[in-house]
A and B are shown apart, each in its own frame.
Chain A
Amino acid sequence: MAESSNAAQRQAAGSIYDLGYRSYEGTRLGRSYAFTSLFMYSFLSVWGIGRSFWAKFFPFALAVIVMLPSIILLAIAALLPAEFEVTQPEEYFGFIAIVLALFCAVAAPELFGRDQRQKTLALYFSRALSRLDYAGAKVGALVLSLFLVLVIPQILLQLGNAVAAEGLTDYLEDNVDLYPPIVASSFLIALFMGCFSLAIAIQTSRRAFATGAIIASFVILTALGGIFVETLDIETGKYALLISPFDVLEGLTVWVFGVEPFEGSWVERADHPGAIYFAVTMVVTAVSLGVILRRILRMSV
């Protein structure tokens, strides 16, 4: 047997044909393409597109709930203009704050959790994509989603107001100075809530745990802020309000729109200069981003 195999080897000593792995010599689309792809993919996964029915149901249902007041107002404006009361865009956030928090609680764990659970991070990080890009794409996807969920109802609201008013285009033109604040406030709120939620979500790979932690943080911190303002004397208490996410965002919104705080709200009682809310928003966003980046840059895969 040994002899014949040697003979076989001698006969076969010749060429080896490379029929397997082929290297690619064409154009490579590079880092920006990778980033955009991941961004689009993450954005779609926030909305559950490409996953099961329920993965779509919850984000879309929550988005619809957020838009419901504006849709209803638009309908009333169109059908029963007499009943219509103009709702200012800055009031909108108060209605929907908790729903936005639920949206974050549902979406944020998906963005980081699945990659951690299914251990696909090694795949991402061995590509043209840098870790920074990965973080940016994920954060960007959630912030963009929140932005859309915030800005679309406000647009509808404006339309509603315009329809109920005497001249549609006139109204829209008159109120053109509302548009920058609408966009700015929506963006800042989206930034705050998105980064905050993701900073919490990235701490764990278990989805239920992250969801609970995010919603608990929003709810408890808001409750505490209000309680401390209520309980302590106003001079010290008013600083406690700054730990409450919803109140900070409310304060931010009224500041961006340049209007007075709502009567009877904590924000009114605390009587901070509006810019403080903006500062807190930026600080929280920066710290959250820091937490996210630190985690991602140090993650071992």
Chain B
Amino acid sequence: MTATVAEAPVTTTDAVSVESISRWYGNVVAVNEISFALGPGITGLLGPNGAGKSTLLHMLAGLLRPSAGRATILGESTWANPKIYKHIGFVPERETVYPFLTGLDFVKLSARMHNLPDVDAAALRAIERVEMTDAMGRATGGYSKGMKQRVKIAAAIVHEPSILLLDEPFNGADPRQRLRMMDMLREMAANGATIVFSSHILEEVERLAENVLVIVSGRLAASGDFHAIRRLMTDRPHSIMLRSSDDRRFASALIGQPAVFGVEIVDGHVVLHTSDLEAFALVAPRIAKEQSVTIYEMAPTDESLESVFSYLVRR
């Protein structure tokens, strides 16, 4: 059972779409009938290791043949279609680059293979964007992991593709680099690019992705905005944290309400369980006023991507 949220309608042909795409290796199904359509903006593929995110990205990038279904970019199938790479930039997870080439040469190689009119200018632009101008004259064999990552991204954006696919792009990046990369990706998305990146790190996806696709065991477990996903999970009660001037009094009054079916006093605040968020939202201020309690803080405790995610994984 999946909970989907209607995405904003995409104009003309979907930038990226998959229809019932599957991939198996013998008996092992890596990707199991996934369908979605994406437009400009940043989408995060979230899932545990081995969930099929990388496989899915490789199929999107035309590097793996789908066992069933299709992956299309700008309306065209990505498999065995080299022309489509004009519009795609792919950043693989694997670290290895040609160790004997300098960073600049590597990006220029990419620019050349894209038949860009001004190879040097395009390469320099891309390198500046990833802030590798200082190190671009050194051989990539001597780069740190984060530097290699940035140079890989530069090579992938040198032809200014409208679609960028990144496989675990923040692996090995230090926090500062990560922030810079995220800024850069947001900028590109604001200019109309469709960006898809995979990660198993919740904070990254939470921070960067406007749209999340949760992949568990090869299946699409949920898609859309994660707050919206959370709210759709009506078969799971919400937990809300409350801080007030008199927790105990407030709690004992609240437990009398039909919307509330559990109250815990944890040190310093109250945690409350309700199945009906809207009803509770109406009733809580009224009760507070009746009991002469001041509410200092009220927040959902499990709308984080982490709790959504652990819920989805356990299903």
Contact = CB atoms under 8 A, between A and B. Distances in A.
Interface of A: 1, 4-5, 8
Interface in B147-163: none
Contacts of B268: 1, 4
Interface of B: 267-268
A173 B267 CA distance: 91
Nearest to A5: B267
A4 B267 CA distance: 7
B26 to A, nearest CB: 12
B244 to A, nearest CB: 15
6 contacts: A1-B267, A1-B268, A4-B267, A4-B268, A5-B267, A8-B267
The interface residues of chain B, by DSSP majority, are classed as loop
Nearest to B269: A1
B210 to A, nearest CB: 35
The interface residues of chain A, by DSSP majority, are classed as helix
A174 B52 CA distance: 67
Kindly list the 5 A-B residue pairs having the minimum CB-CB distance in the complex, ordered from nearest: A4-B267, A1-B268, A4-B268, A8-B267, A5-B267
A31 to B, nearest CB: 37
Contacts of B267: 1, 4-5, 8
A1 B267 CA distance: 8
Nearest to A8: B267
A277 B267 CA distance: 85
A11 to B, nearest CB: 11
Nearest to B268: A1
Nearest to A1: B268
B129 to A, nearest CB: 36
A291 B267 CA distance: 66
A204 B267 CA distance: 60
Nearest to B267: A4
B248 to A, nearest CB: 13
A4 B266 CA distance: 11
Contacts of A8: 267
A8 B267 CA distance: 9
A1 B247 CA distance: 14
A161 B268 CA distance: 93
B188 to A, nearest CB: 38
A250 B69 CA distance: 61
Contacts of A1: 267-268
A4 B268 CA distance: 8
A8 B268 CA distance: 12
A281 to B, nearest CB: 42
A194 to B, nearest CB: 33
A5 B268 CA distance: 10
A205 to B, nearest CB: 15
A206 to B, nearest CB: 14
B175 to A, nearest CB: 27
A5 B267 CA distance: 8
A1 B268 CA distance: 6
B239 to A, nearest CB: 20
Contacts of A5: 267
B28 to A, nearest CB: 15
B280 to A, nearest CB: 25
B27 to A, nearest CB: 15
A87 B286 CA distance: 105
A273 to B, nearest CB: 53
A143 to B, nearest CB: 36
A100 to B, nearest CB: 34
A1 B243 CA distance: 12
A207 to B, nearest CB: 17
B18 to A, nearest CB: 30
A195 to B, nearest CB: 34
A291 B271 CA distance: 68
B96 to A, nearest CB: 14
B303 to A, nearest CB: 23
A6 to B, nearest CB: 11
A8 B266 CA distance: 12
A171 to B, nearest CB: 51
B245 to A, nearest CB: 15
A292 to B, nearest CB: 30
B264 to A, nearest CB: 15
